Amino acid sequence: MCGRYYRTFDKQKIAEALRATATGDPFLYAPAYNIAPTTQQPVLRLERETFQRELVPMRWGLVGFGTKGPDPKRSTFNARAEGLQQSSLWKRPLHRQRCIVPMDGYFEWRKSDKQAFRFTVGDEPMGIAGLWDAWKSPDGIWLQSFSVITTDPNTVAESVHNRMPAILHPQNYDEWLDREEIERPPIHL
């Protein structure tokens, strides 16, 4: 589920739409029409000290802080919304390291005939609920990575697939991005 998405907006348009500053190589923010897991993509989060919105390039496919590193045998580019609180990989980021993945839309393939479908919601970037984490390699290099949260499909997507990305409403962005340690994360959004 949600193994490909696309983004037609450039760095400035994404930053304006999400009211954020953008860091990193401008090339990483160039429009892309077939974004796949393990690539570097811009992600919106709150900066730790100023609590300002920032776009940061991260690897798509979460590598947890306490893991041994990227595991090609384990798929971590999506996280099922209903299992976030039970999994040790997702639980810590859910409470303090939520992010928003900007995209124009995503692709899904119907299993019965392998037909591809494109889903979008309008002219502005969609904000998809995500989780991020940072892992330090034995060489001392930090890798920041993210995962897209998936949920049950709406009536439009259900005829194609049994999952879809968790799309946030812009009025819920601040609550989703809040980095304060809270007992109950905003999984109701």
Comparing CA positions, the residue from 88, 85, 55 lying closest to residue 74 is: 88
What CATH code is carried by the domain that includes residue 169? 3.90.1680.10
pLDDT tens, position by position, 154-165? 999 999 999 999
CB of 87 within 8 A of CB of 164?
Answer: no
Question: Does residue 184 lie within any of the structural domains?
Answer: no
Bridge partners (DSSP) of residue 42 are: 57
pLDDT tens, position by position, 84-94? 989 989 998 99
pLDDT at 50 over 60: yes
- pTM of the model as a whole: 0.93
Please give the residue range of the domain that contains residue 145: 4-177
Q: What is the mean pLDDT of the chain?
A: 90
| pLDDT value, residue 135 | 95
Question: Does residue 140 lie within any of the structural domains?
Answer: yes
Comparing CA positions, the residue from 161, 132, 135, 133 lying closest to residue 148 is: 132
Question: Does residue 150 lie within any of the structural domains?
Answer: yes
**In one letter, which amino acid is 12?**
Q
How confident is the model over 128-152, as a mean pLDDT?
A: 96
Total of domains in the chain: 1
| pLDDT value, residue 22 | 86
Question: Does residue 157 lie within any of the structural domains?
Answer: yes
The alpha carbon of 87 is separated from its chain's Cα centroid by a whole number of angstroms, namely: 17
Q: Residue 119: phi, psi to the nearest 5?
A: -120, 135
